[in-house]
Amino acid sequence: MSVPQAQFGQLNPVLSVSEFTALIKDVLEETFDAVAIVGEISNAKLYPSGHWYFSLKDKDATISCVCFRNAAQYLKFELEDGLQVVAKGKISVYPPRGNYQIVVTGLEPVGIGQWQLAFEQLREKLDKEGLLDSERKRPIPATPRCVGVVTSIAGAALRDILSVFKRRNPGLRVIISPSKVQGEGSAEEIAQAIESLNEVPGVDAIIVARGGGSIEDLWSFNTEIVARAVAASGVPTISGVGHETDITICDLVADLRAPTPTAAAELVSRGHMEMASAWTNLHRRLIDRITEKLATARYRFEKADPWPELLRYADRLQHLHLKLQNLRHKLLNTSETLLAENKHRWTMAYEKLMVLGPLNVLQRGFAVLRNQDGEIITKAHKVKEGDTVEALLAKGKLKLKVIECESDWY
């Protein structure tokens, strides 16, 4: 390229502003078509067109930069004043204004990874809006009947989640809202899948899940669109993205963070498991109490019921009756024996009496004399003349008058 020697006083070709500017543009743009400049961002501004305008500066110099939308869309982080970056691109001269700027095709933060920076920036932004506040967190229903799952239909996360539900919470209704979980357009799909589930009536909780992967693989869950969809969900959300150590923006915005998809499903089922054991417990207590009460009642009932007593009394009566019969029998026997014995004795006594008694004597011609008082008279001087006495004969009696008394008759 030939540059005219433009020196005053010498005969040089006179160039128009446009011609000269075109020369500058050629020189600069051909010389600096791939540069990398480190500096601090200032006056960063995002235009509605999607282009970023900013300056890069250091202690002594400033240079204007633009990052057009086609490059800006791949930036993970937001441009902030004060941020140290390495800008890659080329110089561009703008003839109408006579200025130059760097057209940036790539930006990388200095001293911090771009992913981390992006993460921190989004977190700070959402935090300022209050979307990460713990007061925003809603409780997940203890025993949800229907759970929505946002994840890839062919991923390991879905299989893990369904297997937990099958084991721990088989009655649960599960609605899968499928979505890509990595790559171009996945963030938008995840956001859409969350919104769709919000349109289905009866969904009690939404699990947003993805299996483990690199930070790039998990990036969709660190995007603002997903964060806002999670925040806007009318249904409480549980985030289960990546492995235990991965923390995503989605985790932070969700109502509950689970370390893994499996853990998310377990958290959803926990209440069900607890309720199941609470039920088992209550059921056993219910049965125990009523058994106890019935046993007590039965005891009291039996205690109050006269029938067993009556039965016992009847037994006693029966016993007494038998005893009585026994006694009677014995008594009869005894009296018969006694009677028989007495009869014998009586006969004996009678016979003896007959032999020895007065009648026998009387039969032989003797008589018994009795005074009027019925006393037997054995001595003559017991009566006097004129007394009436009675003579008992073997048969009949005589009333006699005493004519004479003599002491001796022999």
Partner 1 sequence: MSKEKDFESTLKDLEKIVGKLDGEIKLEEALELFEEGIKLSSDCEKFLTTAEQKVELLKRQADGTATLEVFVEVAAE
Task: Give contact residues for partner 1 (rule: CB under 8 A).
Answer: 142-143, 145, 148, 153-156, 159, 162, 165-166, 170-178, 192-193, 196-197, 199-200, 271-272, 275-276, 278-279, 282-283, 285-286, 289-290, 293-294, 297
CB distance 52 to 44 below 8 Å: yes
**Which one, of 149, 231, 242, 239, lies nearest residue 196 by Cα?**
149
Which residues partner with 54 through β-bridges?
65
CB of 93 or CB of 175, closer to partner 1: 175
Cα distances from 84 to residues 71, 81, 117, in angstroms, run 19, 9, 11
CB distance 290 to 284 below 8 Å: no
CB of 125 or CB of 138, closer to partner 1: 138
Tell me how far, at minimum, the Cβ of 141 lies from partner 1, in Å.
8
**Which one, of 273, 159, 164, 179, lies nearest residue 223 by Cα?**
179
For helices 156-168 and 261-304, what crossing angle results, to 10°? 0
Tell me how far, at minimum, the Cβ of 145 lies from partner 1, in Å.
7
Tell me how far, at minimum, the Cβ of 201 lies from partner 1, in Å.
11
Write the DSSP string, 145-194. SEEEEEE-TTSHHHHHHHHHHHHH-TT-EEEEEE---SSTTHHHHHHHHH
Q: Quick one: DSSP state of residue 86?
A: E
Nearest 5°: the CA angle 247, 251, 256 is 130
CB of 166 or CB of 330, closer to partner 1: 166
Tell me how far, at minimum, the Cβ of 157 lies from partner 1, in Å.
11
CB of 289 or CB of 312, closer to partner 1: 289
CB of 284 or CB of 329, closer to partner 1: 284
CB of 106 or CB of 271, closer to partner 1: 271
Rg (CA), the chain: 68
First to last CA, the chain: 221
Cα distances from 308 to residues 226, 297, 304, in angstroms, run 80, 16, 10
Tell me how far, at minimum, the Cβ of 299 lies from partner 1, in Å.
12
Tell me how far, at minimum, the Cβ of 151 lies from partner 1, in Å.
12
CB of 38 or CB of 275, closer to partner 1: 275
CB of 106 or CB of 178, closer to partner 1: 178
Tell me how far, at minimum, the Cβ of 45 lies from partner 1, in Å.
35
